[in-house]
Amino acid sequence: MNLALINSGEAGARRTAKTWLITAWIAGLFCLAICATILYQHATATTNDPWKSPQLLKLKTALAAAPKDAQIKAQIRDLDLKYRQRFFRRLALDRTGGWLLLGGMAVFLAALWRAKNSDQVLSIPQPNLQAAREALRVEARSRLAVAGFAVVCVGAAAAFIKAGDSKMPLPQNPAAPPVPAAADALPPLAEFQANWPRFRGPDGSGFSPKANPPLAWDEGAKTNLLWKSAIPLPGFNSPIVWGGRVFLSGGDAQKREVYCFNAADGQLAWRRAIENVPGSPAKAPEVLEQTGVAAPTMATDGRRVYALFANGDLAALGLDGAPAWSKNLGTPKNQYGHATSLAIWQGKLIVQLDQGDSEPANSRLMAFDGATGKVVWEKPRKVPGSWASPIVVEAAGKAQIITAALPSLIAYDAVSGAELWKADVLEGEVAPSPILAGGLVCIASPSSKLIALRPDGSGDVTKTHVAWSNEENIPDVTSPTSNGELVFYVTSSGMLTCLDAKDGTKLWEHDFGTEIQASPGISGNRVYIVATDGHAWVVEAGREFKELGAGKLEDHFFASPAFVGDRLYLRGNAALYCIGVK
């Protein structure tokens, strides 16, 4: 009797071990399938990359030979959109596949461990009448485990395929000028408006009413190029300008830096490494080449300059480069990298840190005291990651911080951080930033529509405060610009559109037929458009299209222009350029 029970227990243990081995095999094959899918996606990434596609480059060459061929232009737009969708779909597959691979490996290792331990049967010194029955129960549970895991694999594979099929829209030595003596006394509003203190100027709209840069320039002919200065480290942030200084940030996986150039001659006045930041991660996060480590544009209040990087490092420096304070906000969990720029209001530094894919998101809006770095207020945001930058405007009798992230345009009180109103009007991957145009807040819902809202509401104003919308030639990356009377915006494929700011009526459109990633800007009564390949155009900010001039620089451009006085500052991939009349 004892011998039979022992034999029965040994047989059951072998069957259990075999079942766990089968489970390990299934988990292993599942992991191999996920790896194969990810490797295949990366192997085909070159042809799917919208910036490297041979077919797209061939079409652009054909368009250069026949710039008025509407059929070629349409093919370029369609192909560009298709490749961008593939590109972002591959990112989604990488993210989903990574989690599935992690889960599959955990099951694989656990099953191997169980298989090894299930095969070890101890001798039974005393009769156990329930041994056979226990062995059968263990075997049944093992079969259920295998079946359950198979169901999980099928469901996970379906989710993986669905993630792959989902179409995700698309989505820069003489001594420096003297530092002001009154370090903590903020400059007057007129001085703030005469400089370029943040992304796209004082109010974030890309508009400078009094600047007067040249209508034409040419690097090859050395026409109206005052100076050109190499930038030590890469970055996609735009230049900011204050009191004869031009500031940029740059960085890579090893280091992050801030640069100060003399506006008079372009000489590098100082460079400061941002290091030893409390709480900073030891390893920089992996980011897309198209976003990089230093995408957020800096900001200045005229007494300090502020910089934010993709690893969450936030630093304040004096205008002479001396460190004021620094802290780490936590690495933003953003699948394409963090690109939201900084804003300034009455000595406060405004940081919009949106992150995550869906709720529960860890997004938040923060206001810091510029002098000390102390948190003035912090508000959680129930939105996923975005790439739009906040603006601060005076509307409806109060200072409002306007933010954009899927699905909402949300306004906050600048003093307290309290939410004032919101409108659920956005779709897709939100990259364009809002602007104030003729008293209305305008925002581009990527590739969908341009929406204008009255900023005097309270609570949910989705159905009550939309003044107008337009669905023609809507950009997916660039932000609109306005002089208060007209609104201008340009698509990535080069279509410039002009609307009436009052009612959204389209007045005209013009196709430049080339890739444009930099947002347009207005200086006086002229609109400046800078293409990725270094070509630029100046058109009249009027109700009819009129080209006034053109420019050409030997570089590639993604950052937005800065206007101060009679100069235009442009950041290219390799250098910082100052355009002005010689």
Interval 182-192: pLDDT, tens: 446 789 999 99
Instruction: Look at residue 25 and tell me whether its pLDDT is greater than 90.
Output: no
Q: What's the rounded Cα separation, in Å, for the pair 553 and 222?
A: 10
- Which residues pair with residue 241 across a beta bridge? 196, 246
The reply to whether 109 and 230 lie within a common domain is: no
The reply to whether 226 and 271 lie within a common domain is: yes
Q: Domain residues for 131?
A: 2-165
3-class SS at 255? coil
The reply to whether 128 and 277 lie within a common domain is: no
pLDDT tens figures, 560-580: 999 999 999 999 999 999 999
Q: What's the rounded Cα separation, in Å, for the pair 21 and 410?
A: 54
The reply to whether 203 and 132 lie within a common domain is: no
179 falls within a domain: no
Instruction: Look at residue 177 and tell me whether its pLDDT is greater than 70.
Output: no
173 falls within a domain: no
Q: Quick check: 120 and 17 in contact, CB under 8 A? A: no
Residue 394, pLDDT score: 93
Residue 291, pLDDT score: 86
The reply to whether 404 and 537 lie within a common domain is: yes
Residue 260, pLDDT score: 98
State what percent of residues in the chain have pLDDT above 70.
76
146 falls within a domain: yes
CATH of the domain at 220: 2.130.10.10
Instruction: Look at residue 2 and tell me whether its pLDDT is greater than 60.
Output: no
Residue 46: band (very low, low, confident or very high) from pLDDT cuts 50, 70, 90: very low
Instruction: Look at residue 366 and tell me whether its pLDDT is greater than 80.
Output: yes
Mapping DSSP onto H, E and C, the string for 4-31 reads: HHHHHHHHHHHHHHHHHHHHHHHHHHHH
Burial 34-48 (b: 16+ CB within 10 A, else e): beebbeebeeeeeeb
The reply to whether 159 and 224 lie within a common domain is: no
Q: What's the rounded Cα separation, in Å, for the pair 266 and 270?
A: 12
Residue 251, pLDDT score: 94
Instruction: Look at residue 27 and tell me whether its pLDDT is greater than 70.
Output: yes
pTM of full prediction above 0.75: no
The reply to whether 142 and 263 lie within a common domain is: no
Residue 388, pLDDT score: 96
Give residue for tokens 């509401």: 457
184 falls within a domain: no
What spatial distance separates the first Cα and last Cα of the chain, rounded to whole Å? 107
Residue 336, pLDDT score: 79
61 falls within a domain: yes
Q: What's the rounded Cα separation, in Å, for the pair 256 and 284?
A: 10
The reply to whether 149 and 218 lie within a common domain is: no
Q: What's the rounded Cα separation, in Å, for the pair 236 and 238?
A: 7
Mean pLDDT calculated for residue range 371-392: 95
**Selected residue with higher pLDDT from 233 and 84:** 233
Q: How many CB atoms lie within 10 A of CB 22?
A: 17
137 falls within a domain: yes
**Selected residue with higher pLDDT from 170 and 259:** 259
Q: How many CB atoms lie within 10 A of CB 217?
A: 26
Residue 163: band (very low, low, confident or very high) from pLDDT cuts 50, 70, 90: very low
Number of structural domains the chain divides into? 2
Q: What's the rounded Cα separation, in Å, for the pair 538 and 216?
A: 8
**Which of these ranges, 143-147, 479-483, 570-574, has the smallest mean pLDDT?**
143-147
Q: What's the rounded Cα separation, in Å, for the pair 124 and 131?
A: 10
Give residue for tokens 């004892």: 2
pLDDT tens figures, 48-68: 445 556 776 677 667 666 656
The reply to whether 107 and 206 lie within a common domain is: no
Q: What's the rounded Cα separation, in Å, for the pair 234 and 542?
A: 36
Domain boundary, last residue among 99, 133, 165: 165
The reply to whether 243 and 387 lie within a common domain is: yes
Give me the DSSP letters along 451-490: EEE-S---EE-TTT-EEEEE-SS--SSPPPEE-SSEEEEE
Q: What's the rounded Cα separation, in Å, for the pair 242 and 302?
A: 7
Residue 483, pLDDT score: 97
Domain boundary, last residue among 131, 165, 199: 165
Q: Mean pLDDT across the chain, nearest whole number? A: 84
Instruction: Look at residue 151 and tell me whether its pLDDT is greater than 60.
Output: no
The reply to whether 235 and 112 lie within a common domain is: no
The reply to whether 282 and 319 lie within a common domain is: yes
Q: How many CB atoms lie within 10 A of CB 346?
A: 14
Residue 167: band (very low, low, confident or very high) from pLDDT cuts 50, 70, 90: very low
Q: Quick check: 302 and 181 in contact, CB under 8 A? A: no
Mean pLDDT calculated for residue range 412-421: 97
183 falls within a domain: no
pLDDT tens figures, 524-539: 999 999 999 999 999 9
Residue 175: band (very low, low, confident or very high) from pLDDT cuts 50, 70, 90: very low
Closest by Cα among 404, 480, 491 to 437: 480
State what percent of residues in the chain have pLDDT above 90.
63
3-class SS at 313? strand
Mean pLDDT calculated for residue range 272-298: 90
Q: What's the rounded Cα separation, in Å, for the pair 556 and 400?
A: 35
Q: What's the rounded Cα separation, in Å, for the pair 501 and 377?
A: 34
319 falls within a domain: yes
Residue 6, pLDDT score: 41
